[in-house]
Amino acid sequence: MEPFRPIIDKTVFDWCKTIPQEEAGIFFVTPSFKQTIHAAVNEKIIYAHETHPPVADIMDFVVKGFRLALTSKSVKSYKPWTRKNSKWAG
């Protein structure tokens, strides 16, 4: 799931900047925070000048493929989320 971390990190960073200064350093998972994360993972991705499904769908696809690779003991089941020339490719 590491390829998706920058998306979540940036979203959390931006959300933290909205917290009043007197509350800095105190973070709770609020409905507002959940909505922010939900919106971030449901945005479509533009990669290599193409529009791709939302992050949540890609995460789901990658995790299911990884799980199938583990349970079937076959790496052929794993489909990385980027093109073969990517450093994240399996």
How crowded is residue 62: how many other Cβ atoms within 10 Å of its Cβ?
20
pLDDT digits (tens, 9 = 90+) for 23-81: 667 777 889 889 988 998 898 877 667 777 888 888 888 888 888 889 998 887 777 76
pTM of the model: 0.58
Question: Quick one: 83 exposed, middle or buried, by C-beta within 10 A (0-12, 13-18, 19+)?
Answer: exposed
Task: Tally the residues of the chain.
Answer: 90
pLDDT digits (tens, 9 = 90+) for 7-31: 889 888 888 888 777 766 777 788 9
Angle of helix 31-41 relative to helix 5-16, nearest 10 degrees?
Answer: 140
Distance CA 24, CA 66 (A): 38
pLDDT of residue 44: 83
Q: What is the DSSP letter of 6?
A: H
For residues 3-9, average pLDDT: 82
pLDDT of residue 71: 92
pLDDT of residue 47: 65
